[in-house]
A and B are shown apart, each in its own frame.
Chain A
């Protein structure tokens, strides 16, 4: 079963920064935090992964506080094409990594 809790949906407008928070109160020491993005009629696509503090790539940033009980995916200046479902997963190399229901982000013009 998924070990994470995310909002079911979020709305935003073009050009805004979007932050999606994921709760994982029972995260284990060896667990990593991974985010995927899924567009309609496609399979999910890996966005970013981190263990602690902050990770940034060309698509997004991932903020992880010291206690690691939550994480925030940050999408800078979203566009209509960022409308998708975003999944947060936690797990390690030998442990369950499960997709939950995800967060449906709708970006409006």
Chain B
């Protein structure tokens, strides 16, 4: 079974803090993704990575950065957390067979509910 794990289910931080959200997958997937999910807005793509040290901006990258130093790990960083970053954060991974293969099945982690006070 594909397993995508996220470092925390729930996280509470203060405005201005630096926040790290970690995601690890165990299926040797090339592609990894970070989404945030807010009521009524569905899932919005923040960043994705198709290889180690490679990253591409999604639809809402502002206020976020990412790091992919190892194939199995993809980190989302909030440099200075703000209250409007309170959300559910979901990580996903997928195989890359041809091109970026972004249409391949994505496997999601359980999510991290982040609250910024």
Binding site for B on A (CB under 8 A): 1-2, 32, 34, 36, 41-46, 49, 87, 91-102
Contacts and interface: CB of A to CB of B under 8 A. Distances in A.
Interface in B10-65: 35, 40-45, 59
22 contacts: A32-B103, A34-B105, A41-B111, A42-B108, A43-B110, A43-B111, A44-B108, A45-B108, A46-B106, A49-B103, A49-B105, A91-B102, A91-B103, A93-B100, A95-B102, A96-B102, A97-B102, A99-B42, A99-B43, A99-B45, A100-B42, A102-B42
A99 B99 CA distance: 20
Given A93-B100, A94-B100, A99-B35, A46 B42 contact: no
Contacts of B102: 91-97
B92 interface: yes
Given A93-B101, A100-B42, A102-B42, 10 more contacts: A44-B108, A45-B108, A46-B105, A93-B99, A93-B100, A93-B103, A94-B102, A97-B102, A101-B40, A101-B42
Contact of B103 (A34, A44, A87, A99): A34
Contacts, number: 59
B90 interface: yes
Interface size range of chain B in the complex: 20 to 34
Interface of B: 4, 35, 40-45, 59, 90, 92, 98-103, 105-111
Contacts of B109: 43
Nearest to A90: B103
A28 to B, nearest CB: 12
A93 B98 contact: yes
Nearest to B91: A43
Counting chain A CB atoms within 10 Å of each CB, the highest count among B42, B103, B109 belongs to: B103
Nearest to A94: B99
A2 B42 contact: yes
